[in-house]
Structure 1
Amino acid sequence: MSQSQSKLSRRTLFGAAATTGAVAAVASLLPAQRPDAEAVTEKPQEPPSRGGGYQLSEHVKQYYQTTRI
């Protein structure tokens, strides 16, 4: 009975090792995500002196695009 448990344990170990290796191989092939050059160099604008800091930025435009039916 202890032999069948050790074989099962060995199979589990080898299966886990194979799965880990496959995941590592796939992860190494995926392209790295790099930030956009425009997003890095963009500086925030000064808020207006009279208040009312709402601006129609690209982020806001994208949000409004997603809410259209």
Structure 2
Amino acid sequence: MQKEQSKDQVAPSRRGFFMGAAAAGAAVAAVSALPGMNAPEAVSKTLPPAPENGGGYSLSEHVKRYYQTARV
């Protein structure tokens, strides 16, 4: 004899389980990343002057921000 299910009850599925697990994992990753975020500095340091001939590498605030976001 088979059990009849009402329309309100849905049988649990493997797909639903994995979707819920993925959503929970994403939430945990987001929450764990939040305490590690640093507030931006209110006072910026003066940057060295740009090279006269153009080009060259300078560690500007923009570059520092890129390195901060690119960290794994």
TM-score > 0.5, shorter chain as reference: no
Identify, as 1 or 2, the structure richer in helix.
Answer: 1
Q: TM-score, normalised by structure 2?
A: 0.41
Higher RCO (C-alpha 8 Å, min separation 6): 2
